[in-house]
Structure 1
Amino acid sequence: MRTQAIRIRAHGGPEVLERTEVEVGEPGPGEVRIRQSAIGLNFADIYQRRGSHGPHAATVFPVVLGAQGAGVIDAVGPGVQAPLHTGQSVAYFHPGAYQAVRNVPAQRVVPLPPGISEEVAGATLLRGLTAEYLLRRLHAVKPGEAVLVHAAAGGMGVILSQWARALGATVIGTVGSEAKMDVARAHGCHHVVNYRTEDFVARTLEFTGGKGVSVVYDAVGKDVFLPSLDCLRPLGMAINYGTASGDVEAFDLQRLHAKSLSVSRPTLRTFIADPADLRRGAAALFDVVLGGQVKLAVGHRYALADVRRAHEDLENRATTGAVVLVP
């Protein structure tokens, strides 16, 4: 069958995104075919489009962007076993998401339990899985800790803040506008700082009685990374998992010495490379959502055909919460 897709033939701005049609055949061994109802848009897609998403092999064009989506299985390939079956609502994490119908390896697919919609899962699975490893594995947040979440009103920030609070942490969030302060407060932050009008380092130290936070979750990068080190308490960790303002450049390791600080630049793919880890991470995410500790919502919806405008809005930080493309 033929299906709508969005691909690029070169790196660049939103103008390189082109609409096309591609052929989708029957699913091969170990694959399922998904008719998508929701495709997640993440800043990782911006990095991929720009060609600035970190060390990687040479890109072979054309490329269909995106990595997450949700929908209904309409065909099952040889060797695929229960619990996956035709007619089932599922979500997945696998490259090439920007198309209406596609084949996906069954090992990268997660069945959706009752109470988790395809739209919410398609929009937020990547962020939810990222939050799971950031909060539970890379740095296991403990009750009573203070944490700092940059971009706290963004798609990742609202999940991190809610989940960290549910784990018993005091959550300090930074945002870039007065309007976003209310969003951050409504999604788990005990304290919110507008970094455009206030010194977030001074305010973080004020909120923690001068002690600093145990961990900084940083999706901004260049503009906030070095000051964030001054927000950490001894043995604290700065986690840079995104670079919306640009890549973090080389810095003096001696900045870490006095307080024995740690720095990490992780990627989700490593933490869910094992299908069992993918399933465990998704199960933990669904548990906190169904339990009411984390509320997931879609903030913006765009037709797949309007993908250029969606990229522009996300890149210009004109969105709050999760963004979904609708085939």
Structure 2
Amino acid sequence: MPMRIQFSRHGGPEVLDYLDYQPSAPGPHEVRVQNQAIGLNFIDTYFRSGLYAPPSLPSGLGTEGAGIVEAVGSAVNGFQVGDRVAYATGPLGAYSELHVLPAEKLVKLPDAISFEQAAALMLKGLTVQYLLRQTFALQGGETILFHAAAGGVGSLACQWAKALGVKLIGTVSSAEKAARAKEQGAWATIDYSHENVAQRVLELTDGKKCPVVYDGVGKDTWETSLDCVAPRGLLVSFGNASGAVSGVNLGILAQKGSLFVTRPTLAGYADTPSRLQSMADELFAMISSGQLQVDISNRYALKDAALAQTALSARQTTGSTILLP
């Protein structure tokens, strides 16, 4: 009998159960995937804790994985049994040996990309793709600011920016994280624990500030980020690690230089199967060329998902963590 992780109540990692689970046959537009590797992401802990509400309880967990197509629905075109595939945007239930999901959520995985690489990179890598290549299409030569540059998304952004010929200034919270960001390709770092971010950006840009600032932190960095955007520049607020930005006075955008602000999501960019596959193809090409390196520093058996989440929440992990069925 296949196994999966599920939870019947909200709480800490202790609410995660490892149980027998027989998924349904795929519906007409669905595919059943035999997972070979599963991504672990901080958002998973939000569903488990109840910060985000799953559709119903008991619920599976996880939205990212890679594996082999095991069954296809009657109306599915483009995928067949035996195909190597990957996915990043749900539905919940990726923490499982078998996972049924809409075919439109899947991408074809080239032979050059391993299941482990895909599971570790799909969500974070596609996020960096839309941020750097679509939300603000970097051309090379820009100097940009990226918050939390040593994190999972930030580390990939450092590498991708360097490959594009972009000078990325990364904010970090310690000397160790500064060193990590520099190793990943950051042009400069600012340790916000003891440096004034806006002042350092002015110094690093000869007073010009940045045409685009990428802020996945949210509430705590909102005003600082605005102070780092050049006139008529763009603030990309793509996450809320410190809480959501609220109560925004649009007049502040005028005061600080006719600024633009956007709040994008991956789902908003990967909103058709063709766009999703196109984004994934560019991500896979960056990996195949060696311009993006995936750092899988933690591997846990699927049954040990609670241990993996405990380590993640305690900030004991670096790089990516994956679960192996």
Structure-2-length-normalised TM-score:
0.91
**Distance (Å, rounded) in 2 between the aligned partners of 1:306 and 1:164:** 35
CA contact (8 A) 1:129 1:285 kept: yes
Q: Secondary structure at the match of 1:27?
A: coil
Instruction: Give the deviation of 1:255 after TM superposition.
Output: 2.2
| Per-residue Cα deviation, 1:256-314 (whole angstroms, up to 9, x for no partner) | 11211122222211211211111111111112222222222313222222222322332
Aligned to 1:77: 73
**Distance (Å, rounded) in 2 between the aligned partners of 1:117 and 1:62:** 32
Q: Secondary structure at the match of 1:78?
A: coil
**Distance (Å, rounded) in 2 between the aligned partners of 1:305 and 1:199:** 44
**Distance (Å, rounded) in 2 between the aligned partners of 1:231 and 1:309:** 39
Instruction: Give the deviation of 1:20 after TM superposition.
Output: 2.5
- Structure 1 residues 48 and 216: alpha-carbon distance in aligned structure 2, compared to 1, 3 A threshold: farther
Unpaired segments ≥5 residues, structure 2: none
Aligned to 1:140: 137
- Structure 1 residues 263 and 47: alpha-carbon distance in aligned structure 2, compared to 1, 3 A threshold: farther
Out of 152, 155, 158, which is 1:158 matched to?
A: 155
Does residue 274 in structure 1 map to residue 269 in structure 2? no
CA contact (8 A) 1:154 1:322 kept: no
Which amino acid in structure 2 is aligned with residue 275 of structure 1?
P
Which amino acid in structure 2 is aligned with residue 138 of structure 1?
T
Unpaired segments ≥5 residues, structure 1: none
Which amino acid in structure 2 is aligned with residue 104 of structure 1?
L
| Per-residue Cα deviation, 1:35-66 (whole angstroms, up to 9, x for no partner) | 1121111222233334435xx8x842222121
Does residue 263 in structure 1 map to residue 261 in structure 2? yes
Aligned to 2:44: 45
Does residue 68 in structure 1 map to residue 67 in structure 2? no
Aligned to 1:34: 33
Does residue 95 in structure 1 map to residue 91 in structure 2? yes
Which amino acid in structure 2 is aligned with residue 60 of structure 1?
S
**Distance (Å, rounded) in 2 between the aligned partners of 1:110 and 1:310:** 26
| Per-residue Cα deviation, 1:7-42 (whole angstroms, up to 9, x for no partner) | 233444333333322222433323322111211112
Which amino acid in structure 2 is aligned with residue 200 of structure 1?
V
| Per-residue Cα deviation, 1:131-156 (whole angstroms, up to 9, x for no partner) | 11111111111222111111111111
**Distance (Å, rounded) in 1 between the aligned partners of 2:235 and 2:314:** 25
Which amino acid in structure 1 is aligned with residue 322 of structure 2?
V
1:143-292 to 2 correspondences below 5 Å = 143-258=140-255, 259-292=257-290
Instruction: Give the deviation of 1:245 after TM superposition.
Output: 2.0
- Structure 1 residues 38 and 274: alpha-carbon distance in aligned structure 2, compared to 1, 3 A threshold: same
Taking only the aligned residue pairs, the percentage that are identical comes to 43
- Structure 1 residues 136 and 115: alpha-carbon distance in aligned structure 2, compared to 1, 3 A threshold: same
**Distance (Å, rounded) in 2 between the aligned partners of 1:25 and 1:51:** 26
**Distance (Å, rounded) in 2 between the aligned partners of 1:204 and 1:10:** 45
CA contact (8 A) 1:43 1:244 kept: no
- Structure 1 residues 221 and 315: alpha-carbon distance in aligned structure 2, compared to 1, 3 A threshold: farther
Aligned to 1:120: 117
CA contact (8 A) 1:155 1:322 kept: yes
Instruction: Give the deviation of 1:186 after TM superposition.
Output: 1.4
User: CA RMSD of the aligned region, Å?
Assistant: 2.0
Out of 292, 304, 320, which is 1:322 matched to?
A: 320
Mean Cα deviation higher: 137-146 or 20-29: 20-29
Does residue 129 in structure 1 map to residue 126 in structure 2? yes
**Distance (Å, rounded) in 2 between the aligned partners of 1:12 and 1:229:** 36
**Distance (Å, rounded) in 1 between the aligned partners of 2:317 and 2:239:** 17
Aligned to 2:81: 86
Paired residue total: 322
Q: Secondary structure at the match of 1:206?
A: helix
- Structure 1 residues 80 and 46: alpha-carbon distance in aligned structure 2, compared to 1, 3 A threshold: same
- Structure 1 residues 122 and 183: alpha-carbon distance in aligned structure 2, compared to 1, 3 A threshold: same
